[in-house]
Structure 1
Amino acid sequence: MDDRKRRVLRAIVTLYGADGEPVGSGLLAEQFGHAVSSATLRNEMAALTKLGLLEQPHTSAGRVPSAKGYRYYIDNLLDTGARLPAEEKRQIDLLFREMDYDPERLAESAARALADLTGYCVVATTPKSEDLCIAHYEVMQVGRYTAAVLAVTNAGGVRTRTAKLDFALRPGDAQRLSQALNTYLTFRSAADVREEQMRAAAQSLGSAVYYPVLSAAVTLLREAGRPNVYLEGQQNLLNYAELADSFRTLMEFFSDTEAVKRYVSPKSERTTVLLGDELPEYRMPGFCIMTKRYLAGGGLTGAIGIVGPTRMPYRETIPRLEYFALLLGECMSGRVQEE
């Protein structure tokens, strides 16, 4: 890969990304300001095709980048230092100021806003940590035989679950239940809550009839350790004809929680770009999943990612994703930017 081949590959990725049409030598010559002849460019395109970096859809058609070509471009030719314009930052700041800062709602709202801004599909996960726990429980009577258990995680998330009892709740029951849950089940990981804690909580209440409330509290604790995944803007992908054959596989992928955890949770601070051809269990030619980790404070991390066509304009899209991840982490941590 000499410098001219690199320039040719970069130009074809840019031109193909603009309209999704194969790039011919004539159009490429215009991109180079006719400083290089069409014949020379055809030779370079043939060489890149032989290297597996370009493909020729039809005999007489121009070239398009292959999955291998996109991977080479992303790893070696992509300028990752592009900055987001100040005006666009200001608009995104305004979007975040209007969002609900509850972690569950914030992740969902951020995903929806980024999907609207980019015209792609966006996935976002709520913060997760190995030691995520419940910091506070509150029990409220919502019916004669029904109690609502509210749990606040140490990440600031709020979850609720109802419990049905076999007897009518009496005055003071909700307060006693709240006290028992906060005494025996707070600031413990799900793995640390065993049968003895449940028995101790039940004994403190003087009866096993309250067990449905204790069970609801433990369920909330277990659910708190599993990040929620939000997917927004799926309809935007219907605008890209080349994705039609892989759309069903994409939906199957996002219904597989374990697969999403593996591939939509970057292990480093860098933005990760995964091509659909690179997922062994869910091959999705034409798709790209670009993800960025955000830091929510207290060692908690989540992720936000863009799902779109492989030919998306990476240089413009990556700064948007990274700025959303930055603001998402700041809002999750309670560090809200001033007007």
Structure 2
Amino acid sequence: MDDRKLEVLRAIVEDYVSTQEPVGSKAVAQRHALGVSAATVRNDMAYLEEAGYIQQPHTSAGRIPTPKGYRLFVDRLGKIKPLSTAERRAVHRFLSEAIDLDDVVTRTVRLLAQLTHQVAVVQYPSLNRSSVRHLEIVAVTPARLMIVMITDTGRVEQRYVETPAELSEDHILELRRLVNEQLQGKALADAPRIIADLASLARPELRDSASALARVLLETVVSRTEERVAVAGAANLTRPGNFFSGSLRPILEALEEEVVLMQLLGRADSNALLTVRIGDENEIDDFRETTVVTAGYGPGSVVGHMGVLGPTRMDYPGTIAAVRAVARYVSEILEQNR
């Protein structure tokens, strides 16, 4: 395909996104400085239609992009529309005011929904891709302890342990020192092996308590608590101009399923900086009429994903820029708080 046909496709995509109306050859020739006549544009549109990049929704109408056309448009994007200076300042200020990780995630998902006018989904940092920053052990009673595990991504996990015997303050300090010596700075993916040896490293009189502590720690690091996601902006799917051939109900119901949301964001072990899945490229049947734009985030390496879901008729340059920028800001915040 030559450059002129690509320019005609770009013009059709941009006009259809902005006007919500099928685009004709005369409109393309008048609105875009292509340097050719409407007749030449008609010929190029005929080629694009035959190749499956555009289609005519009904007789006598102009043309609209197909998912294949959107795919080519996204793949050939030469320039991503950057956020304005005011938008960047607002994003930075809004996210930098967060007081903890939960607040960061809540603010992020709300911000993405507002910037893109789509459904936003943000995964909490995965425990499997985090490291232990610190473990705190606090006595609730002489035979009941509270464990607080803080990761390098700001996740805080809290559990309670019933010990087989009452522990003195010195015993608790000794257990705290032991678990931090063994786990501090270690990747949580390696933690189960380390935790299994904790009891054997404790003094004989503390081994039963260390064993009880190890069992609860093991439950913490192998649990599925990393599968937490936040969602905002579902009402954006009902905005005027969002066209779906069927009912929105299956999409809205799917968005309520946590497992589906994790599939939506992509494989948890993916390090992809940005992914755009259009129409049938989505593996989930309920999302075959949508586009999903996702990005990984994290301090140095990817520890979670965020993204937006909306109709295939979306502002791709603006949406991609917003998801990419917000992911970068969240990564910087996590890096600063390590």
TM over 0.5: yes
Instruction: Specify the alignment match of 2:136 in structure 1.
Output: 138
Mapped contact 1:99–1:109 kept (Cα < 8 A):
yes
- 1:288 aligned partner, one-letter code: T
Deviations 1:253-311 (A, max 9, x none): 75247635635775344x321213112354623311112333413x4543332222222
Instruction: Specify the alignment match of 1:288 in structure 2.
Output: 291
Aligned counterpart in structure 2 of residue 278 of structure 1, from 273, 276, 281? 281
Deviations 1:120-170 (A, max 9, x none): 122223445876332321122346864321001233432212335677776
Matching of residues 312-327 of structure 1 within 5 Å:
312-327=314-329
Question: Are positions 1:84 and 2:83 aligned together?
Answer: yes
Aligned identity (percent) is 28
Question: Please, what TM-score do these two structures have when normalized by structure 2?
Answer: 0.80
Distance in 2 (CA, whole Å) between partners of 1:172 and 1:34 is 80
Matching of residues 174-323 of structure 1 within 5 Å:
174-188=172-186, 189-194=188-193, 196-200=196-200, 206=206, 208=208, 211-223=211-223, 226=226, 228-239=228-239, 240-242=242-244, 244=248, 247-248=251-252, 250-251=254-255, 255-256=259-260, 259-260=263-264, 262-263=266-267, 267-269=271-273, 271-282=274-285, 284-297=287-300, 299=301, 301-323=303-325
Mapped contact 1:176–1:205 kept (Cα < 8 A):
no
Distance in 2 (CA, whole Å) between partners of 1:138 and 1:68 is 53
SS in 2 for 1:10: helix
Mapped contact 1:184–1:197 kept (Cα < 8 A):
no
Deviations 1:217-270 (A, max 9, x none): 22233359946433322232232342827615752775247635635775344x
Instruction: Specify the alignment match of 1:149 in structure 2.
Output: 147
Residues 241 and 311 (structure 1), Cα distance of their counterparts in 2 relative to 1, 3 Å cut: closer
Mapped contact 1:133–1:221 kept (Cα < 8 A):
no
SS in 2 for 1:138: strand
Distance in 2 (CA, whole Å) between partners of 1:313 and 1:96 is 24
- 1:151 aligned partner, one-letter code: M
Question: Please, what TM-score do these two structures have when normalized by structure 1?
Answer: 0.80
Distance in 1 (CA, whole Å) between partners of 2:153 and 2:163 is 30
- CA RMSD in angstroms comes to 3.6
Matching of residues 38-117 of structure 1 within 5 Å:
38-76=38-76, 78-100=77-99, 102-117=100-115
Mapped contact 1:266–1:292 kept (Cα < 8 A):
no
Distance in 1 (CA, whole Å) between partners of 2:250 and 2:58 is 21
SS in 2 for 1:255: helix
SS in 1 for 2:295: strand
Instruction: Specify the alignment match of 2:118 in structure 1.
Output: 120
- 2:93 aligned partner, one-letter code: L
